[in-house]
Structure 1
């Protein structure tokens, strides 16, 4: 899947603006095929998603390998799989209300959240949707039990038994959810513009454009210069600004 569903339309747009600005001086735009141009755009889109560390369209996230039936139910929509989340005893020992940080941001929907205790003492608890408090942009969850006394009792029994043992349980919390930009063109038009710039930069790099040069004919001369590194640095700066907006403050404690 891609943000640019219509190949014909986006290629025509690139030829009408970005290539006119970059081409002519640095390379012959007539030599660039539609397939080549579109492939550079798709590559730039994938590069942007990795560097921003965010899904660019609504994507179903499965906890572990999905079944054939689950994949069929998703249809043509994009999906990925990730490992389930580890259970830590500290999850309930503080005032965090079962604080869990999902691996993906811009979460639009929590389909299911299940605590699955491994064999031989197998057991599971499906979290009622009304208990889940979600910060959609950050992808942060908190659990606030309430409602049915039967559900609260079953949940308390499982959690108290794990807390009593003080054990870390790997991949016990299985979350299925939908994450990613709901409408990138509407909400992040700067991202669309940035992907186009990144696509053109890839074409320039493929053309091995020299930093400077000159053309002479019949006594006339024309010189040009191309500071590709500065163009690349500008793209990196714009990516960093957008990443800060999406990811928030990032720091590391050594």
Structure 2
């Protein structure tokens, strides 16, 4: 029978990798921004094995994903099987925006998701980068959205906002600073703002978000993807310092920090 290798026989790099993995598995972790857009529980089960004690699935009106209703149903089914380990943030559609009952209908939808356990509402980059009404982009600070934000605040829920994109989005692919941005915008040129100079600029996206926050100072707010301020920790830090009730999540652009 072969003798087992002593620690001294194991290369240092291998030992360090094994130690890192052991520490990773011991550490209780929270991932506050995932998209459980499938009925398959494999990802959730693996996360639980890896000691993720809490996950938050974000619904979003992404045109090449399943419908908002299907996303909600997937998470509801997973929550029924896995309980409190999986939280959910709902969203809403801008379909029917020009109809007189759009606000009331949207509020009823959000009310139903809150009753079913949603912890907040997510707005996506279709506001500011995709949805056009009467020839103008609808921005996150549009007055028609104020009743939505007021309701989220009254209910003590959180508004999660994917406003704009990383600043790389306005650069040519060859000048982007991270591979994940380069890959995403190569695959989705419709969102690569360098190709769409007639769309609202990066600064306009950020300004619209901040105007919305100024109108709703009591709103609990989470800026998704480092609030699209990933390019400057100084500016991000000042923004958080000026708005102590706000937070950001680290999904996607953390490699840029």
Greater relative contact order, per chain length (Cα 8 Å cut-off, separation 6+):
1
Larger Cα-atom Rg: 1
Shorter-chain TM-score: what band? under 0.3
Higher normalized strand content (fraction of residues): 1
Q: TM-score, normalised by structure 1?
A: 0.23
Q: TM-score, normalised by structure 2?
A: 0.23
